[in-house]
């Protein structure tokens, strides 16, 4: 073989190796949630992922609901009340039943971020929440667990109303995959509640975000237009007479 062909061969093998390294990094270490983020920014700019909040309080009901809706959603969330009632083993059960879906453990961790996030990842969660109001070291601890397991951490901004955009930007810099701009069930129940304030803060913050707080068929289009990575829907699905049909309709409207 001539020297020129040898050099070409070395360049080709080197190039292939470099490409394989990036593939491994992308599909292995970086994890599913970063793939969602990547697709949203570079592959499917206007696609919003649909996350169902399984806000029931026992595992059989959660598994039934997940079974009814899974084909229409991207992310199955174990709501905080479910994890408190059924335990972290519920995360493993939902992941075992739906290995093709991203499983989100809504722990809303307020302290011991690395320890609690590690529990969820160990149980099979792909994403876990830490409170956006938690101590910065708690958020950083959860992120450290995410890096260790190759999974993602979401900062839940529930209860933050004043100065929300500033705090969103702060926690985004701590390495969370995205920020959940969230009005909890109690806040939603107050007269005058509007999802619009969440959307406005999402638009202004300029970091990847999800929206939770009464997302339904009438609002999911605005959630997408605001630029959200993920739309979270609980009551609009589990309170519907046919949760599967409700999820299908949300999916249709999300990307209409
Ligand atoms: O996170 C939630 C709440 O704090 C209870 O755990 C809900 O899952 C979230 O608000 C989404 O539910 P809906 O507001 O009913 O869509």
Q: How many residues does the chain have?
A: 256
Does the pLDDT value for residue 33 go beyond 60? no
Check pocket membership of 79 for ligand 1, CB cut-off 6 A. yes
CB-based burial label for 71 (10 Å; 0-12, 13-18, 19+): exposed
Compute the distance from residue 234 Cα to the ligand 1 centre, in Å: 6
Split at pLDDT 50, 70, 90, the class of 3 is: low
Q: Which of 211, 216, 234 to mutate to test the pocket of ligand 1 (most atoms within 8 A of CB)?
A: 234
250-255 LR contacts (CB < 8 Å, sep 24+): 250/50, 250/72, 250/215, 250/216, 250/217, 250/220, 251/50, 251/72, 251/73, 253/217, 253/220, 253/221, 254/48, 254/50, 254/220, 254/221, 254/223, 254/224, 255/46, 255/47, 255/48, 255/224
What is the separation of C-alpha 29 from the centre of its chain, rounded to a whole number of angstroms? Answer: 17
Compute the distance from residue 24 Cα to the ligand 1 centre, in Å: 35
Helix (H/G/I), strand (E/B), else coil: 127:
strand
Phi–psi pair at 247, nearest 5 degrees: -65, -40
Does the pLDDT value for residue 32 go beyond 60? no
**Which ligand 1 atom minimizes the distance to the CA of 77?**
8
Does the pLDDT value for residue 93 go beyond 80? yes
d(CA 27, CA 35): 8
Check pocket membership of 234 for ligand 1, CB cut-off 6 A. yes
Check pocket membership of 184 for ligand 1, CB cut-off 6 A. yes
Sequence-distant (≥ 6) Cβ neighbours of residue 115 within 8 angstroms: 141, 145
d(CA 74, CA 56): 19
d(CA 249, CA 220): 10
pLDDT digits (tens, 9 = 90+) for 137-161: 999 999 999 999 999 999 999 999 9
* Structural domains for the chain: 49-255 (3.20.20.70)
242 DSSP 8-state letter: S
Check pocket membership of 232 for ligand 1, CB cut-off 6 A. yes
pLDDT digits (tens, 9 = 90+) for 174-233: 999 999 999 999 999 999 999 999 999 999 999 999 999 999 999 999 999 999 999 999
For residue 44, what pLDDT is reported? Answer: 44
Do residues 80 and 106 lie in contact, with contact meaning Cβ atoms separated by under 8 Å? yes
**Which ligand 1 atom minimizes the distance to the CA of 183?**
10
């Amino acid at each position: 073989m001539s020297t020129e062909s040898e050099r070409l061969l070395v360049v080709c093998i080197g190039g292939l190796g470099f490409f394989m390294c990036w593939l491994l990094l992308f599909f292995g270490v970086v994890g599913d949630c970063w793939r969602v983020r990547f697709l949203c920014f570079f592959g499917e700019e206007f696609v919003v992922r649909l996350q169902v909040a399984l806000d029931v309080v026992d595992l059989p009901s959660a598994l039934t609901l997940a079974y009814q809706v899974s084909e229409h959603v991207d992310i199955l969330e174990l709501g905080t009340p479910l994890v408190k009632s059924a335990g972290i083993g519920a995360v493993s059960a939902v992941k075992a039943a739906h290995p093709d879906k991203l499983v989100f453990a809504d722990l809303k961790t307020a302290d011991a971020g690395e320890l609690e996030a590690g529990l969820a990842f160990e149980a099979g969660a792909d994403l876990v929440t830490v409170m956006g109001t938690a101590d910065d070291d708690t958020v950083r601890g959860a992120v450290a667990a995410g890096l260790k397991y190759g999974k993602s951490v979401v900062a839940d901004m529930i209860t933050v109303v004043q100065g929300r955009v500033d705090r969103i930007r702060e926690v985004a810099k701590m390495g969370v995959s995205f920020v959940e701009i969230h009005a909890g069930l109690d806040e939603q129940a107050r007269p005058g509640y509007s999802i619009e304030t969440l959307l406005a803060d999402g638009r202004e913050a300029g970091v990847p975000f999800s929206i939770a707080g009464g997302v339904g068929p009438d609002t999911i289009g605005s959630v997408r237009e605001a630029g959200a990575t993920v739309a979270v829907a609980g009551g609009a699905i589990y309170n519907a007479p046919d949760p599967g049909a409700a999820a299908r309709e949300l999916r249709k409207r999300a990307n209409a």
